[in-house]
Structure 1
């Protein structure tokens, strides 16, 4: 077996160097690129930042606005700055409500109730004292006798009025009085008769000495019509008349009013010592509210 020997190193090198050259492929021609589509120009960063700030501001203001609206709607009108009702001198009376009637009792002005009788407890129809008032211990909303009522008139008229009350089928007299911090004294009397005919007749007796003005009250030099009160302001089926002591008044000024409401006659009195006298606004307010309770 013939032994093969490796070719010499020079021969290997020669073999590699004698190979034919590999032809080089020419590079491909450059590809003609299409013009790219024009890109939307990006806004400057300053504009973006401003837009973001305005968007955030709108969201924040929207939230604050919603919170403010919710806060205002849950507040009382007097709690909202700029919308508070200006104090016009009215007193702060409690919420009023009519007392319940006895079973099957008609209302005073319904058709079956010809005598126009108030079947509710007369004391429950008295106007309550407003906030801040000092209640009169003698006129605490209970029953009083006719002499206490006639004490509101001059000494020369009391005996005659007391006798007329005894002759007019008077059933009850309920009264409440109070004094406000400014010194205004208020008294409310409710006189209940057997029917509207008796209450009307007694009211006419108060005008017996005059065709236009009633008997003046104690401390009242002269009673004149209250020019700020309209007779049409009364509740339906009732009649309300208001009087005031004109300027210049004496040591105190007196305002009073009568409300004829079916079988009941109400007397309201406001008096105050000093030059300032009584205020018209709380007097009219008291008259309106008492009239509503009797209506």
Structure 2
């Protein structure tokens, strides 16, 4: 082997990293050779530039994480209407108190159970009246107690009252409970519950006297023309009850909506009147809740 060959092989060995060296070690040709043995790569120390970069990214992550956690905690602790973009405008419904069915006398069944063939409401009829919504002004004459037949008949036109009174006398009416109120938007609501001696008498008065299934029945006082509101009657579904809803057309200065609900031995009449237009949403809500209390 000549001297030139030896020098060439030595230079080639210096350019090829050792198989035992770490892959990220400093290249061998950059390390000074010694006579003690093969070249050894010293431990690599991160530069100050790298350390500063790591520090800055760590701080950024911590700050972002802290802000994210704070935002999440803030949103979960806020009301929905307080969060931008999640606020929900009122759809027109009223805020009613929490509803519950009244207690029954001992051993008395609910009206539509297997043990109550006559579909009788054994609960106090006054306790089945829908309460006034929050913020409403109660009607002192319709305060949730018993009312007379004449008070009920005052809802209808003068020409129809005598005939209706005779029908009530013949139908074995037991008693009438009523409640009324006026909400801040000017809507006046009245709810009457009429309880008869049997479901047969209640149905007869509904079908023959007030003709709840058509527009040919007696009109409410001040109402000139009506149409049946089948959409609400279809939307409100409560088992074992029958619902008939009407709306005044054409509208006068005031508009009236009303509904009949027949639930076993009890017939309900709900009316809502308002200057300009009687709104559909609170009317449907009121009818639904009263229907559920009776069913």
Same fold (TM over 0.5): yes
Partners of 2:214 and 2:269 in 1: CA distance = 19
Which of 248, 257, 272 aligns to 1:270? It is 272
Match of 1:18 in 2: none
The partner residue of 1:42 within 39, 43, 46 is 46
Name the structure 2 match of 1:254.
256
Structure 2, unaligned runs of 5 or more: 1-33
| Residue 126 of structure 1: aligned partner | 129
**Following superposition of structure 1 onto structure 2, how do residues 103-114 of structure 1 map, counting pairs within 5 Å?**
103-114=106-117
State the Cα deviation string for residues 106-146 of structure 1 (Å, max 9, x = none). 01000110111111111111111111211100001111011
* Structure 1 residue 94, shift from structure 2 partner: 1.2
Rg larger for: 1
| CA distance in 1: counterparts of 2:113 and 2:213, whole angstroms | 33
- Distance (whole Å) between structure 2 residues aligned to residue 258 and residue 208 of structure 1: 10
Instruction: State the alpha-carbon separation in 2 of the partners of residues 203 and 259 from structure 1.
Output: 9
DSSP-derived class of the 1:286 partner:
helix
State the Cα distance separating 1:211 from its structure 2 match: 4.9
Deviation sequence 1:137-186 (CA, Å, 0-9, x none): 00011110111111100000111111211211111211000111222111
Q: Structure 1's 161 and 43: CA in aligned 2 closer, same or farther, altered over 3 A? A: farther
For 1:32, what is the secondary structure of its paired residue? coil
Question: How big is the shift at 1:32?
Answer: 3.0
The alpha carbon displacement at 1:281 in A equals: 0.7
> Taking structure 1 as reference, are residues 115 and 73 closer, same or farther at Cα in structure 2, changes over 3 Å only?
farther
Name the SS for the 2:194 alignment partner.
strand
2:222 is matched with which residue?
219
Q: TM-score, normalised by structure 1?
A: 0.80
* Correspondence 1:238 to 2:244: no
RMSD (Å) for aligned C-alpha atoms: 2.4
Match of 2:55 among 27, 52, 56: 52
Residue of structure 1 in register with 2:288 after alignment: 288
Superposed displacement of residue 226, structure 1: 1.5
- Asked if the contact 2:238–2:292 (Cα under 8 Å) also holds between the matched residues in 1, the reply is yes
**Correspondence 1:117-156 to 2 at 5 A:** 117-156=120-159
Within the candidate set 162, 167, 175, 2:165 is matched to 162
For 2:92 and 2:64, how far apart are their aligned partners in 1? 40
Q: 1:51 to 1:195 in 2, by over 3 A?
A: farther
SS in structure 2 of the partner of residue 268 of structure 1: strand
CA contact 2:207–2:213 (8 Å) conserved in 1: no
CA distance in 1, matches of 2:172, 2:237: 26
TM-score, length-normalised on structure 2?
0.80
In the alignment, what sits opposite 2:85? 82
Name the SS for the 2:232 alignment partner.
coil
* Structure 1 residue 71 displacement after superposition: 4.4
CA distance in 2, matches of 1:195, 1:76: 49
CA distance in 2, matches of 1:32, 1:210: 113
Q: Could you tell me whether the CA contact under 8 Å between 2:215 and 2:227 is conserved in 1?
A: no
| Number of the residue aligned with 1:3 | none
User: Which 5+ residue runs of structure 1 have no aligned equivalent?
Assistant: 1-29
Q: Structure 1 residues 280, 43: CA separation in 2 closer, same or farther (over 3 Å shift)?
A: farther
Which of 144, 154, 175 lines up with 1:172 in the alignment? 175
Instruction: Supply the distance in 2 between the matched residues of 1:88 and 1:209 (Cα, whole angstroms).
Output: 29
> What is residue 204 of structure 1 aligned with on the other side?
207
